[in-house]
Structure 1
Amino acid sequence: MFTLLKDATVYSPEYLGKKDILFCFDRIALIEESINASNFKAVNIVDCRDRIIFPGFIDLHVHIAGGGGEGGYTTRTLSANATDILKSGITTVAGILGADGVTRNIAGLYAQAKQLEGQGLTTYIYTGSYQVPPVTLTGSVQSDMVFIDKVIGVGEICLADSRSFEPAFSEISRLAAQTRNGAMLSGKAGLVHFHMGAADNGLDYLFRLIRETMIPKTHFLPTHVNRTHKLFNQAVEYLKEGGLIDLTAGFIPNEADKDCIASYTAIKQLIDLGIDTGRVTMSSDAYGSVPVFDEKGNVISSDTVSTKILFDEIRAAIKDLGVPIEKAISIITKNPAGVLKLYNRKGSLEAGKDADCVICDKDLNIIKVFAMGKAY
């Protein structure tokens, strides 16, 4: 019934100092300087001396049902594995379809989310895929949000990319309005989650949405914005106008791709520029494909990534670049909880919230993960 984490250094993600944390079933019951275990029956005590505890990580962009297919059937990727995700410190995921909205569908995505939920994760999904009009389960984005418990928005809508369906701005603004209405009726976040490619038009539609419509900026989340320097510079300006952005882990500059920006470098640059990182999230894009195209648009190779890269790159920001722990950890805890409208349950360590946490050693290696009070 009870689990007591003793003598930990706690980041909520704000620094709380040395604390004891008591779980009662799947919720946090108490966080105090000292909690007497003898006051509780059947208590499991976990010695956390020399340990650091963070809230469970939130990955808001995971291809849980697999992805890929841009190079034909052999480039389809496998579906997500709950054990691997949990070992990465991630306790909450938002599942998404990508380029393939034909052989993969929302029913399959929902079923995979339910399977992962049964294996210990908290799961949500986006309706739709790259295409416009989006594929849905009930016939519209609005009704999917109202009637399907796990649907928290639509995406990933593909823009500025050779795989885009080249929607007109009127189609995008109408889709955003439908999502906004679904959000109001359902009490959900109602994100329109955009896949951003490397084309020159970049975030043009996003700037128009926040300047030309009355839809709140909190409904738009462009991802992969560290794909190129030009796109990242646009993202900086978008942040300055009050928008949200999502960085993608795994973009590491190399000989084949010199123009991308590593997520940890992007975080450091934003801080150095004095940008409020409270509206910045980061996701792994895990289990999707990472295709490489030739100059004619043909896929010449395809790979995939693990959710493990999410915390790997946050740790690099902290240990290699000196980003304050509180700021770095917020990007995968508090910030996405706010964006997904889950902060009443997730994103911080507070009494009454879900018992999700990550226990690390002093070198920020993950030792143990608790998801809804269960240890992994």
Structure 2
Amino acid sequence: MTSRNACSPGLMTLLRVGGVFSPERLEATDILMAGGKIIALGNDFSIPKDWPIRVVEARDLIAVPAFIDQHVHVTGGGGEGGCGTRCPEITAREIAAMGIGTVVGVLGTDSISRSPADLLAKVRGLGAEGISAFMYTGAYRVPPPTLTGDIQRDLAWIPEVIGLGEIAISDHRSSQPRQDEIERLVSDTRIGAMLAGKRGICHFHIGGGKRGLEPLRRLLSETEIPADQVIPTHVNRHPALLEEAADYALAFNASVDVTAFEDAGDGLSGFDAVSRLLERGVAPERITMSSDCNGSLPEFDADGAYLGMKVAKNTTLIADWQRLVREGVLPLESALGLISTNVARVLGLHTNKGYLAIGFEADVTLLDRELQPQQTFVAGKCIYDVSRTE
């Protein structure tokens, strides 16, 4: 059974490609997948005729780890301008079409008309459609809304919950949490995650306020919390914040998350932000990129009054990432870390995601010469094939 149609049935799938990046380049052109895992890597595998296998001939494409987007408003964000400004939900196809196999759902400003229960239902729905989906419990506000009434119980008892977020700081939309409240939230998340065998990160929304990253600097300086427990996102909101983020990453050997803003406004694009962090000496392994997809991009005046908004898309994430490779800012092997390997490590998923290796989940994206996703596999199942959508 030989076919370019990656979505035809078969108990096993063999990808025959032009190259494999794990993210490092491998001496392999064949990937054999079964039971949701990669079971073999090699060259020119001989397949017995009676094996129930589909063979995907894609010698003009390269295989990379399916991308991971750690910040997606899967139920839609927004609402800052009233009920008419709620953003729409994202679809499985919109995710997979960008080569993304794994997402982490998040609530933002609005945790009233949208709840952690809504988020969990959407995450499980995406899972039923083939996307590997997780979520953060909580939202902007403090105390954070939860599923069970307790952060630790959410982490311990709900498999999809892998952390807390996005807690807003340095933003007029935040609850203005005190330093001791921030420390307690991170501590509760850490303990709950330990009990569940998870990483349990705290995903912090950083606004444009004057405090910037100061609460997180204090957290890491004044407590025993390790740096890999907290991830600040939107650090490219404005140039001064990005400079502070570079200092933060270097001082604490910490990771920072850049948002691929569709319209950077007073901030920096994902491309410019990553380029600047690298210039400042931040290691590529300490940088991740996310989309903020289906979240709102609101505009406020100097007094905080709402002026209007746009809806974020994940197309900008892929476009910024492609540009980093095309313009030689990073080689493909290192650039893949920004949206796969590094993200898997940050989230604590690195033992089975983020690499193309035997025993890892068969999450594979096939890219053309322009680095455009053509096919996306999650757990060995084809969930997007561009040839079937044209």
Q: TM-score, normalised by structure 1?
A: 0.96
**Pairing partner for 2:149 from 136, 139, 146:** 139
For the residues of structure 2 that align with 1:318 and 1:76, how far apart are their CA atoms? 35
Helix, strand or coil at the partner of 1:69: coil
Residues 1:327 and 2:334 are matched in the alignment:
yes
Tell me if the contact between 2:262 and 2:316 (Cα under 8 Å) persists in the aligned partners: no
Residues 1:279 and 2:279 are matched in the alignment:
no
For the residues of structure 1 that align with 2:369 and 2:233, how far apart are their CA atoms? 31
Counterpart residue number, 1:4: 14
Q: Could you report, residue by residue, the CA deviation over 1:309-337 in whole angstroms, capped at 9, with x for unpaired residues?
A: 22221001111344211111111111110
Counterpart residue number, 2:86: 76
Residues 39, 207 of structure 1: CA spacing in aligned structure 2 closer, same or farther, 3 A cutoff?
farther
In the TM superposition, residue 304 of structure 1 has moved relative to its aligned partner by: 0.7
Residues 1:350 and 2:357 are matched in the alignment:
yes
Counterpart residue number, 2:240: 230
Residues 216, 272 of structure 1: CA spacing in aligned structure 2 closer, same or farther, 3 A cutoff?
same
For the residues of structure 2 that align with 1:303 and 1:134, how far apart are their CA atoms? 26
Helix, strand or coil at the partner of 2:261: coil
Amino acid at match of 2:25: Y
Helix, strand or coil at the partner of 1:97: coil
In the TM superposition, residue 260 of structure 1 has moved relative to its aligned partner by: 0.9
For the residues of structure 2 that align with 1:7 and 1:96, how far apart are their CA atoms? 35
Counterpart residue number, 1:48: 58
**Pairing partner for 2:24 from 7, 14, 31:** 14
Tell me if the contact between 2:363 and 2:379 (Cα under 8 Å) persists in the aligned partners: yes
Tell me if the contact between 1:116 and 1:123 (Cα under 8 Å) persists in the aligned partners: yes
In the TM superposition, residue 25 of structure 1 has moved relative to its aligned partner by: 3.4
Q: Could you report, residue by residue, the CA deviation over 1:135-179 in whole angstroms, capped at 9, with x for unpaired residues?
A: 111111111111111111111000111101111001000111111
Residues 1:310 and 2:303 are matched in the alignment:
no
Query: CA RMSD, aligned part only?
Result: 1.4
The farther-off stretch of 350-359 and 9-18 is 9-18
The farther-off stretch of 229-238 and 29-38 is 29-38
Residues 1:341 and 2:343 are matched in the alignment:
no
Q: Could you report, residue by residue, the CA deviation over 1:225-246 in whole angstroms, capped at 9, with x for unpaired residues?
A: 0111111011101111211211
Tell me if the contact between 1:198 and 1:228 (Cα under 8 Å) persists in the aligned partners: yes
Residues 89, 340 of structure 1: CA spacing in aligned structure 2 closer, same or farther, 3 A cutoff?
same
For the residues of structure 1 that align with 2:180 and 2:171, how far apart are their CA atoms? 18
Tell me if the contact between 2:17 and 2:63 (Cα under 8 Å) persists in the aligned partners: no
For the residues of structure 2 that align with 1:299 and 1:225, how far apart are their CA atoms? 22
Q: Percent identity?
A: 40
For the residues of structure 1 that align with 2:68 and 2:121, how far apart are their CA atoms? 20
Q: TM-score, normalised by structure 2?
A: 0.92
The farther-off stretch of 315-324 and 61-70 is 315-324
For the residues of structure 1 that align with 2:153 and 2:318, how far apart are their CA atoms? 35
Tell me if the contact between 2:28 and 2:41 (Cα under 8 Å) persists in the aligned partners: no
Helix, strand or coil at the partner of 2:192: helix
- Runs of 5+ unmatched residues, structure 2: 1-10, 385-390
Tell me if the contact between 2:136 and 2:162 (Cα under 8 Å) persists in the aligned partners: yes
Residues 1:265 and 2:276 are matched in the alignment:
no
Tell me if the contact between 1:356 and 1:372 (Cα under 8 Å) persists in the aligned partners: yes
- Runs of 5+ unmatched residues, structure 1: none
For the residues of structure 2 that align with 1:274 and 1:298, how far apart are their CA atoms? 38
Amino acid at match of 2:381: K
Residues 93, 40 of structure 1: CA spacing in aligned structure 2 closer, same or farther, 3 A cutoff?
farther
**Pairing partner for 1:243 from 219, 241, 254:** 254
**Aligned ranges for residues 73-152 of structure 1 at < 5 Å?**
73-152=83-162
